[in-house]
Amino acid sequence: MSTEFSRRAFLRYSGIVLGSLLTSRQAHARVIQPQGGLKRPKPHNALVIWYSQTGHTERYARLIARVWAQRELRVDMHRLSFGDEPDVSGYDLIIIGSPVQYLDVPPNVRKWLRTVGSLEGVGVSSFVSYGGQGDGQHNAAFSLLAGMVDMGGVALGMDTFGNMSTYPPTWSMGNQARVLKYRHKPDQATYARVRALAASVLDQYSRGVGIKAQSRPSLMGLFKGDVSRTLSKAVLGRHTIDTRHCIRCGACVRTCPAGAINLDMPRIDTERCILCFGCVNNCPTGAHTMTVMGKPIYGFPEFLRRNGITILEPPLDQV
C-alpha cells in the first residue's frame, strides 16, 4: 500500500470519526416497557424472516421455524433480498434475524424495518448472529426489536447467537487463528439456545404481555455502521470481476443486498456497495477479485475447505 494511499485513508477516516464525535449526543439507553395489545389470545400464523449471506443466520431461522411448526403454528419463511418487500399482513407472530455487520444491523435490513408498515397487535421478536466474541450484538438485536415495536408490535423476545466470523479480510490478512478459535461454533449448545428463544417467545405470547428490553450505552457505538464501513473501504483495493473465471451463475447478484453488481458490463457500483462481502463469500469460482492493503481476499467456503471445517447443522428432526 502506497504512502499516499495510507495518508488519504487516514485523513478520510479521521474526518469521519471527528465528525461523529462532534455531532453525537451522549449515549443513552432506550427501554421497551412491557405492554399488552396482542390481537389474538393465541397465535396461528407466524413469519420467520431473515437476511443471511453465509448461512449462519439462516440455520437459526429455520430451526426457530421448525420449533414453531411443531407447536402447531402455520409458519412461513422468507429470506430478505435486494428490492424485497414481503407482505407481513395476516401474521400474529413475526421474528426477524440478521447478522451483525460493522457493529450494527445491516443497512438493507434497517431499510426493510422502515418500510414494513403497521405491525399493530403482532407479537414480534428478533435475533442476530455474530462472529467470534462479537461486539455490538446486543444493541443490534435490540435495534431490530425496537424497529418493529415502533411499528406497533409487541416485544416478546430477543437473543444473540455466536459462530465463526465470516469476514474475509480477517483470515486473508493472516489472522486465521482469530477465526479458528471459534471453529466449533455453532455447536449443540448454540442450537439449544435457539430452540429456547423460540419456545420462550411462544410462552411470552401466551401471557398476553410483552417483555422489558433495554439497549446498552457503548462508546463503540460511535464507530458502528457507516463509520466502520468507510474505514474498511478506505483500506480496500479495487473490487472487480475477473471475466476469465466468472461463469455468470448470478450467485453474487442474488446475494448482493444493495443491487451493486452488474454482470453485463461487468461492474461493481462501489458507492452502493455496503461491503458485506457476500459476493466474495458466495462466488463459486473466486471471480470477485478484491484486496485489502495489497493482499488478495478469499471467501468463507474456501476458508472452510483450507482448514477442513464442516459446520454443524441444526438437528431439525430432533426439535
Amino acid at 186: P
Based on the fold, state whether residues 98 and 164 are members of the same structural domain: yes
Give the relative orientation of helices 107-115 and 137-149 as an angle to the nearest 10 degrees. Answer: 20
Based on the fold, state whether residues 243 and 214 are members of the same structural domain: no
Query: Does pLDDT of 234 surpass 80?
Result: yes
| Cβ atoms of 179 and 61 closer than 8 Å | no
Based on the fold, state whether residues 294 and 152 are members of the same structural domain: no
Based on the fold, state whether residues 39 and 141 are members of the same structural domain: yes
Q: Report the relative pairing of strands 123-131 and 154-163 from DSSP bridges.
A: parallel
Question: For position 3, what pLDDT does the model report?
Answer: 39
Sequence-distant (≥ 6) Cβ neighbours of residue 103 within 8 angstroms: 135, 136, 140, 220, 221, 223, 224, 225, 228
pTM of the predicted model as reported, rounded to 2 decimal places: 0.89
Cell 408490535 sits on residue: 153
Question: For position 319, what pLDDT does the model report?
Answer: 59
Cell 404481555 sits on residue: 209
Tens digit of each residue's pLDDT (9 = 90 or more) over 79-131? 999 888 878 999 999 999 999 999 999 999 999 999 999 999 999 999 999 99
Tens digit of each residue's pLDDT (9 = 90 or more) over 183-199? 999 999 999 999 999 99
C-alpha cell at 8: 488519504
Q: Would residue 12 count as lying in a domain?
A: no
3-state SS of the chain: helix, strand, coil percent to 5?
Answer: 40, 20, 45
Based on the fold, state whether residues 226 and 213 are members of the same structural domain: no
| Number of structural domains found in the chain | 2
| Cβ atoms of 63 and 194 closer than 8 Å | yes
Based on the fold, state whether residues 207 and 239 are members of the same structural domain: no
Question: For position 75, what pLDDT does the model report?
Answer: 98
Residue 195 sits in a domain of what CATH number? 3.40.50.360
Q: Which domain holds residue 56?
A: 31-218
Q: Would residue 1 count as lying in a domain?
A: no
